[in-house]
């Protein structure tokens, strides 16, 4: 889900024999124990934060670029790192190389399952922004038989979504690229090139790649994923905020400050789209040395909703889908959310609270 990423600090010399995965936490109880600082204490120490230079991480980029996170943290220092994939980000958080990261749903689920609850989801960030884009001659699901479709990586959020949707259409697929429809996980940049060359007939990808496949590859949207989420009014989590559970317990004031800065960033993203797009594009260019075309970021922006609501019901379905397609063992998501700090801040702002599982 990223665009030719450069990591911000030779980051994690990931010589960490790490586990792969991603994100997690439900439980609206307070994370701060009796022997730890209260969430309303001044922030202190440091916070190491991960994010991706992707448009789906726009509030994170805005929070960094506009100094919203740093300002909210006050005397606590902020160190940022950028990642190329959810697997990298989850490896970093599970190895104690970072304290928090913005990340997608399926890597979050994997991280929670593999760590036994050592990570916690504390806020949402982005909903929507994923689609199956296909060649112009494909008009219906029936036309996909015998085609080759791409996803960002095996087991990632869009990969699971495509496999689950194809199963609903009656297609058999497997992890090795066999079956009625061949699925080829690959980097999004390679997907655009392969689509333009006619080597693949479509891809289930996040923004801005869905828009790029349409605008630069001449494709068309066969499935806008939001249309599949009828039980959540078209909302489904694309990016949310994951923290190490022990960091949340030991530094609740820092997490509170981070979430406060995130709420300000979400407000900026929603209140002034053109300025927010420019800030996001500046951040992407600073990290990747490449800038999105104005029409691409504007088109992608229209398909995204920036919200602190983690859309918990969609996370549960994503887990169920991953189990159903054989990419995840049965897992309980009990305890994956702690939204207590988020809801306190929302209440202070006169905004409605959000729910976990």
Among 212, 232, 252, which residue terminates a domain?
232
Tell me the C-alpha to C-alpha distance, in Å, between residue 136 and each of 4, 213, 229, 356.
Answer: 27, 11, 25, 40
Q: Are residues 143 and 226 in the same domain?
A: yes
Tokens 């204490």 belong to: 41
> What's the order of all strands across the beta sheet hosting 100-103?
77-82, 46-51, 100-103, 237-244, 119-128, 304-306
Q: Where are the beta strands (DSSP E) in 129-170?
A: 130-134, 148-151
- CATH code of the domain covering residue 308: 3.40.190.10
Taking the whole predicted model, whether its pTM rises above 0.75 is answered as yes
- What is the widest separation between alpha-carbon atoms in the chain? 63
**Final residue of a domain: which of 232, 252, 268?**
232
Q: DSSP 3-state assignment of 201?
A: coil
Q: Are residues 143 and 88 in the same domain?
A: no
What are the start-end ranges of the E strands in 2-76?
46-51
- Residues 115-130 as b or e (16 or more Cβ within 10 Å = b): bebbbbbbbbbbbbbb
CA proximity to 158, closest of 327, 1, 333: 1
**Residue 194 shares a structural domain with residue 134:** yes
Distance CA 290, CA 73 (A): 30
Q: What domain range includes position 85?
A: 46-128+235-348
Tally of domains in the chain: 2
Is the domain of 239 the same as that of 343? yes
Do 119 and 244 lie in one domain? The reply is yes
pLDDT per position in the chain (357 positions), as tens?
A: 333 333 333 333 333 333 333 333 333 333 333 455 566 789 999 999 999 999 999 999 999 999 999 999 999 999 999 998 888 999 999 999 999 999 999 999 999 999 999 999 999 999 999 999 999 999 999 999 999 999 998 988 999 999 999 999 999 999 888 999 999 999 999 999 999 999 999 999 999 999 999 999 999 999 999 999 999 999 999 999 999 999 999 999 999 999 999 999 999 999 999 999 999 999 999 999 999 999 999 999 999 999 999 999 999 999 999 999 999 899 899 999 999 999 999 999 999 999 998
Q: Which of 172, 202, 232 is the last residue of a domain?
A: 232
* CA 264/CA 93 separation, integer angstroms: 24
Is 207 a member of any domain?
Answer: yes
Cα–Cα distance list, 211 to 216, 293, 304 (Å): 8, 11, 12
């Amino acid at each position: 889900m990223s665009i030719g990423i450069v990591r911000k600090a030779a980051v994690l010399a990931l010589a960490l024999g790490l586990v792969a995965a991603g994100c997690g936490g439900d439980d609206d109880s307070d994370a701060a124990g009796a022997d730890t600082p209260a969430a309303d204490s001044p922030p202190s120490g440091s916070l190491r934060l991960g994010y991706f230079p992707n448009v789906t991480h726009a509030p994170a980029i805005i929070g960094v670029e506009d100094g919203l996170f740093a300002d909210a943290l006050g005397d606590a220092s902020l160190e940022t790192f950028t990642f190329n994939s959810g697997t990298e980000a989850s490896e970093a958080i599970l190895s104690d190389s970072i304290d928090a990261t913005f990340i997608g749903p399926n890597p979050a689920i994997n991280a929670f399952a593999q760590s036994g609850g050592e990570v916690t989801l504390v806020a949402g960030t982005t909903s929507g922004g994923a689609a199956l884009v296909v060649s112009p001659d494909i008009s219906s699901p029936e036309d996909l038989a015998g085609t080759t479709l791409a996803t960002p990586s095996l087991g990632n959020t869009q990969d699971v979504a495509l496999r689950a949707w194809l199963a609903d259409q009656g297609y058999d697929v497997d992890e090795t690229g066999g079956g009625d429809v061949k699925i080829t996980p690959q980097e999004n940049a390679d997907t655009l090139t392969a689509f333009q060359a006619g080597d693949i007939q479509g891809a289930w990808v996040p923004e801005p790649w869905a828009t790029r496949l349409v605008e630069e590859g001449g494709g068309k949207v066969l499935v806008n994923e939001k249309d599949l989420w009828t039980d959540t009014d078209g909302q489904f989590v694309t990016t949310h905020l994951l923290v190490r559970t022990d960091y949340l317990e030991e530094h609740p004031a820092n997490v509170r400050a981070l979430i406060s800065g995130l709420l300000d960033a979400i407000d900026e993203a929603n209140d002034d789209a053109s300025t927010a797009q420019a800030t996001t594009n500046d951040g992407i260019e600073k990290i990747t040395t490449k800038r999105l075309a104005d029409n691409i970021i504007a088109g992608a922006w229209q398909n995204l909703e920036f919200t602190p609501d983690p859309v918990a019901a969609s996370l549960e379905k994503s887990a169920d889908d991953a189990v159903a397609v054989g990419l995840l063992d049965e897992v309980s998501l009990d305890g994956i959310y702690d939204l207590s700090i988020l809801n306190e801040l929302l209440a202070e702002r006169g905004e409605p609270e959000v729910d976990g599982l």
